[in-house]
Each structure stands twice: as structure tokens, then as C-alpha cells.
Amino acid sequence: MAGRHDGRGPRPLVRRRRPAARPGAPARAAGVSESTLCRIWRRQLGVSPVEGLERLRLARAEPLLWLSNLPRQAIAVQCGFADAYHFSRRFRAVHGVSPSAFRTAPPESAPPSPVANGALSALQALVSPSRSGR
């Protein structure tokens, strides 16, 4: 298949990125415009849909940091980030500590999950019902 790496020779320098998350399909399903859906979402959950998705991705990284020896790059990819650098920057911006510092901190002294307080915790339960809280 064209564009796929066959394992021979160096890997391509450019990888295709996933398209950005857009509220278009959910808005159409709800019968409202994207801007109306974003406004309702922000009013109900306190963050925009993009911020909410990012916080859910970051919350998904928490158990991977604590309970695995996976490198940051692997965790970043599993949680939907383009690369380890972007993941680390966003993790630090939301948690206030780097992923490395978070990984070494005991759970009781770690910063709260970005979905621990507020309506995003209910959304997280719908998205990943098997995840247990800290």
C-alpha cells in the first residue's frame, strides 16, 4: 500500500497526522450547529470540546505513567498526541508537573486528575467505564 513503511530502509520523516477533532458530526447528530454545541458543552462541562478531549487524553495517561514502564513516546501515541514533546508540554500545562515528575511522585502527592473535579468525570466514565479512580 502506498505511503506505508515496509520495514526496509529508514522510516519516512513525515507521518500522516490524524485529523483534528471537530464537533461537526456530534452537532449534526444532535440537530444543532457546531457553535451551539460548543456553547452548550462549555456551559455544562466548563471547558470547550477540544479542552475536554485533551483532558480526557491526559487522564488516560496517568495510569500509564504510574503503572507501566512505557516510554513517553508510546504513552503519547496511546493517548492521542502527535509526539512525546507535545504530550509533555500539554501534560505540564494542565498538571503543573512534567510527566517524569508525575511518574516518580507517590499517588497521594500527585496533582489531581484534570477530570477529577467537575462534569468531565461523568464524561470520562462514559468513555472508559473500566478505569478506576485514583
Nearest-angstrom CA–CA distance, 14 and 30: 36
Q: How far apart are CA 76 and CA 74, in angstroms?
A: 5
Phi, psi (deg, nearest 5) at residue 4? -100, 145
What residue has cell string 490524524?
18
How deeply is 34 buried, as exposed, middle or buried, from its count of CB atoms within 10 A (0-12, 13-18, 19+)?
middle
pLDDT of residue 75: 95
- Cα–Cα distance for residue pair 68/125, rounded to 1 Å: 22
Q: Give mean pLDDT in consecutive 10-residue pieces for the chain, a chain of 134 residues.
A: 52 49 77 89 85 89 92 94 95 93 86 72 62 44
Report d(CA 11, CA 18) in Å as an integer.
Answer: 18
**Sign of the alpha-carbon torsion through 73, 75, 77, 82:** negative
